[in-house]
Amino acid sequence: MTEKKHEGNGRLEESMSALSQAQANMVQAQAHLVQVQAACQIQIAEANRQIAETNRQIAETNRYIAEVQRQIAETDRINSERFRRIESILLEHSRILAEHTRILQALPEAVRDNIGFKAPSPPS
pLDDT of the residue at 10: 77
CB 72 within 8 A of CB 78: no
For the stretch 13-56, pLDDT in tens is 999 999 999 999 999 999 999 999 999 999 999 999 999 999 99
pLDDT in tens, 60-113: 999 999 999 999 999 999 999 999 999 999 999 999 999 999 999 999 888 888
For residue 122, the 8-state DSSP code is P
* Predicted TM-score (pTM) of this structure: 0.56
Report the distance separating Cα 101 and Cα 18, nearest Å. Answer: 118
Amino acid letter, residue 3? E
Q: For residues 117 and 111, is the Cβ–Cβ distance under 8 A?
A: yes
**C-alpha span between 112 and 53 (Å, rounded):** 87
pLDDT at position 123 = 74
Residues 5, 3: Cα–Cα separation, whole Å: 5
